[in-house]
Amino acid sequence: MLVPIKWMSQYVDINTDEKTLADKLTLTGSHVDSIINNEREVENVITGKILEVVKHPNADKLVVTQIDINDGEPLQIITGAKNVKKGDVVPVALEGAKLPGGVRIKKTKFRGLPSYGMMCSYEELGFEDKVIPKEFRDGILILPEDTEIGKDVKEVVGLNGKTLDIEITFNRPDCLNIVGMARETAATLNTEFKFPNIEIKNETENIKDYLNGVEIENEELCSRFYAKVIKDVKIEPSPLWMQRALMDAGMRPINNIVDVTNYVMLELGQPLHAYDLEKLNGRKLIARRAKTGEKVITIDQNERELSESMLVIADEENPACIAGVMGGFNTEISESTKFMVLESANFNPKSVRETSKKIGLRSEASARNEKPMHYKMAEFASQRACQLIEMIGAGVVVGGYMEAGKSEYIPSIVTMRPYRAAELLGVEIPVEDMLKSLNSLEIKSTFDGEQISSEIPFFRADIVEEADLIEEVGRMYGFENIVSQPLQGKIKKGRKSLRREVEDEIKNIATGIGLYELTTYSFISPKSYNNICASEDSELRKYIRILNPLGEDYSSMRTTLMANMMDVIQRNSFRGVEGAKLFEVGNVFIPLQLPITEPPMEKSKLCIGLYGKYDFYDMKGVVEAILSRFGIPISLKPIKDNQTFHPGRTAGMYLNDECIGIYGEVSPEVLDNYGLNHSVYLAEIDIEKIVECKDTNWKYEPLPKYPAMTRDIAVKVKDEVLVGDMEETIKTINPYIIESVKLFDVYRGEHIENGYKSTAFSVTYRNKERTLKDKEVESIHKKILEALETKYGATLR
């Protein structure tokens, strides 16, 4: 929130510079993000009155003006601005004047006529476009007609001062306004706080002659509705001082009535809304739930469809406002408005927040209504707005008011034990200092010898228990003054779970072999399952739909990590990254039943993605490197029915006949869905199975004493015979003597008929107790050939 120090100074004595103020507020809990300097680099710019405006004789789009600057002869200035006329008071940059951005003003000629300066717009004086009133966005700044001539424009327009940009936490809506921050400042600086003196001097007639009542149908959504009526409304620009206060606080001035409601909202934190009384059917306002299918055109001129969960302010026939979010176009005030109703109400924060999100509207008002505000403020804000309307001559306040809902307030009492404060804060604070701190925050507190009793003001809804009072004492004492102490207690030393240890080890292994780790959202788009070509009956499509998603792209809890991995690969490919090795360890969410009636099962998975200069065997090597570190012997089987993968280049990882994962080349159809023109390799492994089956009780043996003998064997088999099966068969012939079996060649081509392949293995033999003899090796080698012939129809090449 932006807090202009000039504005806040109206309610509190600030006896220090802005840097010290910002530091002290931060230390007492109101974090100041930055100090904005409102000083503009403006020199030699004064106010002047236009005496004459004539068309330039040599240019259709220029006019020649004569301006009185209270310095003798009028000053001739030529301009192309279309919003100036005789009698206007404007900022005049004289010869040699300096403007923001280092601009210097010099005498110049326009089509043969001299111009001795320049009239200035808000933009030329250094204001951002977002706060410039619409009537001045493309023209010269027109000052009030009673502005003194020849005055320095910095004083007239207020081009000075500092603004604090303060981060307000959700639990402190009382600070989301200038008065609230003034109260905090007074307590921080130990100075006097002055609440605005609210007094309406000239109320006339009776509200009952104009308004037929206000009503609340659902007090759960609207706890108080307070209404005042203003007659003889005159819509015109608000005074310059009010416009500048709003601009420094980051809001654009609109007109006097809207500016008053915004001014009070920023000042007191209570949003207000004004209705054209003559546009209300039945001259009555009702806070009720919207009807199914009911629609309203909001002031941004968009039609919004409403639902029964939303609260509206309606007349006797139609909705006139989406409560707490945005007003209706058909009942808004306009230049023809003569009678208006000023609404000040207190709404259910949850209802406002949900409504704002559903219709996609968020404003300064809804941001405040989304937070808990007390119904007592509704009356103060309404009275303050009426006072300002009367003060600036925007209308005449009608006597009386109409209200519905709660109005009486009985303060809650919260107690605090001084010794408990010392235990939690770690420092002994005298009771007198505690009382002083609490009372400075308008929390009336007394001490009875044992405990402090505090009467909680209506604007501090966040204080509900002893710990809240202790926090108030601590922050006013200054957390920086509390010496850090070591924690004490009998807490047992914690440790990571076995699964977490395994996950950490996987990450260490993966990063050690050159993979980059990803962390992605646990919720994905339902379209992602189509993108990875999951079949209609796939278990992956049994996902949990989120009731209140951030958007359609984040509306389902993921059942696989592969969709996220493909998204990352697509994004990096499109941004020119030609290749990468990636991995993610994360949870997937498996519902026990749909619709869900209990929490889903969360399973930890490892997903690996390779693209670029890598192939199937690179992926195989990565997978084996990780699993081997956990002592998990897997067997591979071809997978042909998974539509995410290429049917001839995909392997399932099996452990005790149970599939614990899959890896392979992504299918061309999936690549097309992601707009990729290069190969991608994915793997997904169940970490729960790694945890369950890992065997890291490594047994170490001395280096062999006796030499090994190696024999190669090449056989021809049918294409469908798996090399892995053949390796296992070879090993079983004599596990004691056969030390290893390695495939070193697969050949198809000349001299090998179609449908067959030649496979060549290197078999290493070793006896750990003595040197092998050739006859022994030949005997085992012969048995290998016989087993391969019998089981797979293999023939020796």
CATH architecture, domain 2-38+161-189: 2-Layer Sandwich (3.30)
Dist CA 649 CA 620 (whole Å): 11
pLDDT at position 60 is 86
Decide if 132 contacts 122 (C-beta within 8 A). yes
Angle (CA) 344-345-351 rounded to 5° is: 145
- pLDDT tens track for 541-552: 999 998 888 888
pLDDT at position 374 is 85
Angle (CA) 353-358-362 rounded to 5° is: 55
Dist CA 376 CA 379 (whole Å): 6
Please determine, for residue 487, whether its predicted confidence score (pLDDT) is greater than 80. no
Residue type, 770: R
What DSSP state is assigned to residue 290?
P
- At 485, is the pLDDT very low, low, confident or very high (cuts 50, 70, 90)? confident
207-405 domain in CATH 3.50.40.10?
yes
Binding residues: 462, 468, 471-472
Helix, strand, or coil here: 742? strand
Average pLDDT of the chain, as a whole number: 92
Please determine, for residue 744, whether its predicted confidence score (pLDDT) is greater than 80. yes
For residue 716, what are its two tokens? 């021809």
Dist CA 359 CA 296 (whole Å): 11
User: If one looks up domain 498-693 in CATH, what number appears?
Assistant: 3.30.930.10
Residue in 296, 321, 181 with CA at minimum distance from that of residue 249? 181
pLDDT at position 94 is 93
Highest mean pLDDT among 130-139, 260-269, 703-712: 260-269
- At 493, is the pLDDT very low, low, confident or very high (cuts 50, 70, 90)? confident
* Element of type H or E holding 185: helix 178-189
Domains 2-38+161-189 and 413-480 share a fold: yes
The strand pair at 658-666 and 580-590 is best described as unpaired
Dist CA 710 CA 717 (whole Å): 22
- At 676, is the pLDDT very low, low, confident or very high (cuts 50, 70, 90)? very high
Q: How far is CA 156 from CA 117, 146, 147, in A?
A: 19, 11, 8
66, β-bridge pairs:
52, 76
pLDDT at position 664 is 95
Decide if 521 contacts 554 (C-beta within 8 A). yes
Give the domain ranges of the chain. 2-38+161-189, 43-157, 207-405, 413-480, 498-693, 709-796
**Residue-wise burial string across 427-451, b where 16 or more C-beta atoms lie within 10 A, e elsewhere:** eebeeeebbebbebbbbebeeeeeb
C-alpha 220, offset from chain centre: 29
- CATH class given for the domain over 709-796: alpha beta
For residue 354, what are its two tokens? 């949900």
314 exposure class (CB count in 10 Å sphere: 0-12, 13-18, 19+): buried
Binding residues for Mg(2+): 462, 468, 471-472
Task: Give Cβ neighbours of residue 672 (< 8 Å, ≥ 6 apart).
Answer: none
CATH architecture, domain 413-480: 2-Layer Sandwich (3.30)
Please determine, for residue 488, whether its predicted confidence score (pLDDT) is greater than 80. no
pLDDT at position 115 is 93
143, β-bridge pairs:
89
Helix, strand, or coil here: 27? helix
Q: What percent of the chain has pLDDT over 70?
A: 100
- CATH class given for the domain over 43-157: mainly beta
Dist CA 381 CA 375 (whole Å): 11
pLDDT at position 40 is 84
